[in-house]
């Protein structure tokens, strides 16, 4: 199995993130209010967090080409958000 | 309709989506729009977030068991996102009817290819065997198939064709408004010659990022309806967890058979929508 360490990092990152999502969602169902935004906001930050984990993991194993692709994808995600948020 | 019904509906969509590596937007948008009277833009925004949830949950275990080919996903992500950007820029200028017919024809051809192995197995033959063969390249990988108890070693082939096809897939997905998974899975199985379980896992892995790009914008614009989205997300997370465990334990030819049927169904839907 290739990139074994990276897989472990991604697994624990997603496990932590999704546990928070479920916790905030249940709190929203019980209490309402700001918990809903917290749950969905956490969910939205999981894919960029996964990209950051990939950059870290691939750099550690010296797979700089794949790390560069993750950097490009992270920049594309950020630029897309900026482009829309300035009113296009 | 009672909002709590979104939890079981989400469960079924998450289960199917996680098993086949599709997002499930094709199911959730009509359920929210027609069933729960959510305005279309908000239904799309909600569906994108549920795709992120389904993809993240499916990725979690598939990555752990080594089924996802992260490198292949990285190689195909940039072309498919570029294709989607080109497609969304040209969406008004394209003859959508012709594209739909072309997609339906390609979907049927891919479904026929996908049926080959299950038909052989059901007729009493042996299941397709994947071999790494030759020198291992950067994309070759292996995983332990829980259904058979064997370690499957495979080589990714035709990457020089997969990249332009992935660009075309991204283009089609944005012009026809269909999810990436329906195109990704046959692409990875038929062009790259990877096992169906790897295709499903790699597709789930890819989907989260694409859906996130869209949902960040909707979130910023305030289109997200928290209660509806959270109900769907909770159902989908549970469904995706069960779905990925089912994928690990189901024999590959059953998944190929069901996915082929799903492709034929989508091709028929495309033709009927002309």
| Count of domains for chain A | 1
Within 8 A of A8 by CB-CB distance, chain B residues are 64
Question: Which token pair is B150?
Answer: 């064997």
Is B77 or B218 the better-scoring residue by pLDDT?
B77
pLDDT at A26: 94
Within 8 A of B219 by CB-CB distance, chain A residues are 40-41, 44
What digits encode the pLDDT tens for the residues B97-125? 887 888 888 888 888 888 888 888 888 87
Residue B10, CB half-sphere, CA atoms under 13 Å: how many? 25
**Residue ranges of the alpha helices (H) in B91-158?**
96-122
Q: Which domain holds residue A25?
A: 4-85
Q: DSSP class of residue B126? A: P
Cα–Cα distance for residue pair A62/B219, rounded to 1 Å: 36
Q: Are B53 and A8 in contact (CB under 8 A)?
A: no
Give the number of A-B residue pairs with CB atoms closer than 8 Å. 125
Q: Counting beta carbons within 10 angstroms of the beta carbon of residue B2, is it exposed (0 to 12), middle (13 to 18) or buried (19 or more)?
A: exposed
Query: Which of B171, B137, B130 lies closest to B151 in space, CA to CA?
Result: B130
Query: Which of B154, B181, B128 lies closest to B71 in space, CA to CA?
Result: B154
Using the beta-carbon criterion (under 8 Å), do A76 and B234 form an inter-chain contact?
no
From residue B249, alpha-carbon distances to A35, A54, B12, B254 in Å are: 36, 28, 18, 11
Is B179 or A67 the better-scoring residue by pLDDT?
A67
Q: In this complex, which of A1, A47, A84 lies closest to B208 when CB atoms are compared? A: A47
**Averaged pLDDT score across all residues of chain B:** 84
ipTM of the complex: 0.92
Cβ contacts of residue B166 below 8 Å, gap of 6+?
A: B76, B79, B80, B83, B187
Name the residue ranges covered by the structural domains of chain B.
3-272
Within 8 A of B132 by CB-CB distance, chain A residues are none
């Amino acid at each position: 199995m290739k990139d074994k360490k990276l897989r472990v990092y991604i697994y624990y990152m997603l496990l932590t993130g999704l546990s928070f999502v479920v916790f905030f969602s249940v709190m929203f169902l019980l209490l309402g209010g700001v918990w809903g935004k917290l749950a969905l906001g956490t969910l939205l930050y999981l894919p960029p967090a996964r990209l950051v984990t990939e950059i870290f993991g691939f750099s550690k194993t010296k797979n700089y080409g794949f790390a560069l692709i993750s950097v490009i994808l992270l920049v594309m995600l950020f630029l897309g958000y900026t482009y829309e948020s300035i009113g296009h | 309709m009672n909002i709590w019904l979104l939890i079981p509906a989400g469960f079924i969509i998450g289960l199917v989506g996680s098993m086949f590596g599709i997002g499930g937007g094709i199911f959730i948008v009509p359920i929210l729009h027609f069933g729960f009277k959510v305005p279309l833009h908000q239904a799309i925004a909600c569906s994108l977030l549920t795709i992120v949830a389904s993809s993240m949950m499916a990725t979690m275990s598939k990555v752990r068991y080594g089924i996802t080919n992260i490198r292949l996903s990285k190689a195909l992500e940039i072309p498919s996102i570029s294709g989607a950007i080109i497609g969304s820029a040209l969406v008004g200028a394209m003859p959508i009817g012709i594209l739909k017919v072309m997609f339906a024809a390609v979907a049927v051809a891919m479904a026929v290819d996908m049926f080959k192995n299950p038909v052989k197995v059901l007729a009493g033959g042996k299941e397709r065997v994947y071999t790494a063969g030759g020198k291992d390249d950067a994309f070759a990988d292996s995983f332990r198939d829980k259904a058979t108890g064997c370690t499957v070693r495979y080589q990714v082939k035709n990457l020089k064709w997969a990249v332009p096809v992935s660009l075309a897939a991204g283009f089609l997905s944005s012009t026809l408004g269909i999810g990436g998974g329906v195109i990704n899975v046959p692409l990875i199985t038929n062009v790259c010659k990877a096992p169906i379980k790897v295709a499903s896992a790699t597709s789930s892995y890819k989907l989260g990022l694409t859906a996130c790009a869209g949902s960040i914008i909707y979130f910023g614009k305030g289109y997200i309806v928290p209660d509806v989205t959270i109900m769907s997300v909770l159902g989908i997370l549970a469904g995706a967890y069960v779905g990925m465990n089912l994928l690990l334990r189901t024999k590959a030819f059953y998944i190929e058979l069901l996915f082929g049927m799903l492709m034929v169904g989508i091709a028929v839907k495309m033709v009927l929508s002309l």
